[in-house]
Amino acid sequence: MTTSTAQPDKPLGSSPHTPAGSRLYLVVLAAVVLGALFGAVAPKSAEAMKPLGDVFVRALKMVIAPIVFCTVATGIASAGDFRKVGRVGLKALVYFEVMTTLALALGLGVVHLVRPGEGIHAAAATLDAAAVTAQTHGREAKTIAQHLGDVIPDSVASAFVGGEVLQILFLAVLTGLALVRMGERGRPALLALDQAGKVLFELVAMIMLLAPVGAFGAMAYTVGHFGLHALGHLGRLMLAFYATSLLFVFVVLGAAAALAGVSILRLLRYLREELLLVLGTSSSESALPQLMDKLERLGCAPAVVRLVVPTGYSFNLDGTSIYLTMAAVFVAQALDVPLSLGDELGLLGVLLLTSKGAAAVTGGGFVTLAATLQATHTIPVAGLSLLLGVDRFMSEARALTNLVGNSVATLVVARWEGALDVAQARAVLAGRDPIRLPDAPPSE
């Protein structure tokens, strides 16, 4: 079986019912601004807007699991052979590991340079450990073996019910490989998965009509509940985190994008609608379907997009990686806990694993950080209560960086694999959108 999946007759996620990209961009931007103003002017009323953002994110999460399953399975099957799937997967994992390690190291270096927690002199015994437990929903820390073992679901249904991305990826990879083994006998099932994916993307297009409402509700609640004063004594940490994220995007990811043959500035402009959606919802998952659609429009081979993007949402969370090291060392500084070189190397080692399973949803980084501190027994977990007031604000920067990181990762892996039409990508990013035949070979 070579390329047994039928190419969509139109880009995934496109729909005549979806507002034009530029119009949606402006409406979401206006909703984010109005939500922030409403939160500042009427904080109590703004807190009541939280369900608007929650319902929108939940509606998108409802379809994320089946979309990931369908796109990964069809992406692997369309590759046509085990060698190609293994080659693309290996290149993606190598890239993910290099980038997340750089993100972890950069965060560690900046937090030592700025030292935002120095001088707080908080005592762990006086902090609210119960608040940390509530924020993490009572999840207990797991050993590395348990963390890896959780990739395998108890049943096929449980993976979809629980919405665990790693488990869904595991099932999707096995399904894709099974379809490759079946050859032509698996073609009917492959076509059914492809059609199911189109239905799911059409459903996403309908849900996206509520994007401005969700962005307004989420932003209004954030500002209304935590208030601008929440940025007070933790302002240095937030500024350092935002600056580090920007440094990573423009320098590290900018260099990677240049290697793929595209400009990071033009790529950010191209993804402005998705970035605004993530800004409003603090969830990079909310933009996953549209992101895959746009990357295919750029000239990335669908098989690469459908394998790299969903996998990156679990293995390539650059923004979360920066946050994890900065937040952990900040807590240590605030509690006056000395960290030896061995302690920091041990922390990095655990984070290299736990960061791969961090959920790309609001609060996922905080939960992962709590589990990591419990596993290392070096920094008191109660110290995370110092971050509760501003974690939501930092969650937005995490999600934005994650989105850009996965976009660049797909471009780099596609270029590395020879599956990126560079001329197409440059034309689209320059504002021109040439029509390319679905089966046209990529050009260098």
Cα dihedral 431, 68, 204, 420 in deg (nearest 10): 10
How far from chain centre, in Å, is Cα 244? 17
Query: The whole model's pTM is what?
Result: 0.69
Cα(75)–Cα(197) distance, rounded to whole angstroms?
A: 11
User: Is residue 9 domain-resident?
Assistant: no
Q: Give the whole-angstrom CA distance, residue 71 versus residue 114.
A: 42
Q: Is residue 6 part of a domain?
A: no
CATH number of residue 290's parent domain: 1.10.3860.10
CA distance 190 to 227: 50
Give yes or no for a contact between 74 and 190, defined as CB atoms under 8 angstroms apart.
yes
Residue 27: its pLDDT value, please?
Answer: 78
Answer yes or no: is 8 within a domain: no
Of the candidates 288, 312, 267, the residue with the CA atom closest to the CA atom of residue 425: 267
Taking CB atoms within 8 Å and a gap of at least 24, the contacts of 155-161 are: 159/65, 160/65, 160/66, 160/69
Is 303 inside a domain boundary?
yes
Q: In this structure, is residue 10 part of a structural domain?
A: no
Q: Is residue 2 part of a domain?
A: no
Is 441 domain-assigned?
no
What are the structure tokens assigned to 268, written together?
């950010």
Q: Is residue 443 domain-resident?
A: no
Its domain, for residue 415, covers: 21-429
Counting the structural domains of the chain, the total is: 1
Per-residue pLDDT, 54: 76
Question: pLDDT 10s digit of each residue in the chain, 444 long?
Answer: 333 333 433 434 443 334 444 566 577 778 878 888 888 888 888 888 888 877 876 777 777 778 778 877 887 776 666 677 778 888 988 999 899 999 999 999 999 898 887 776 766 555 545 555 555 554 454 555 555 666 687 777 877 777 666 677 788 888 888 888 888 888 888 889 888 888 887 887 787 778 788 878 877 876 777 665 544 556 788 889 999 999 999 999 999 999 999 999 999 999 988 898 888 777 777 788 889 889 999 999 888 888 888 888 777 888 888 988 898 888 888 888 888 888 888 788 777 766 665 554 445 566 667 667 766 677 777 777 667 656 667 878 888 999 999 999 999 999 999 989 999 999 999 887 654 444 444 443
Q: Confirm if 248 and 322 have CB atoms less than 8 A apart.
A: yes
CA separation for the pair 69, 20 (Å, rounded) = 28
Q: Can you read off the two tokens belonging to residue 15?
A: 């729909």
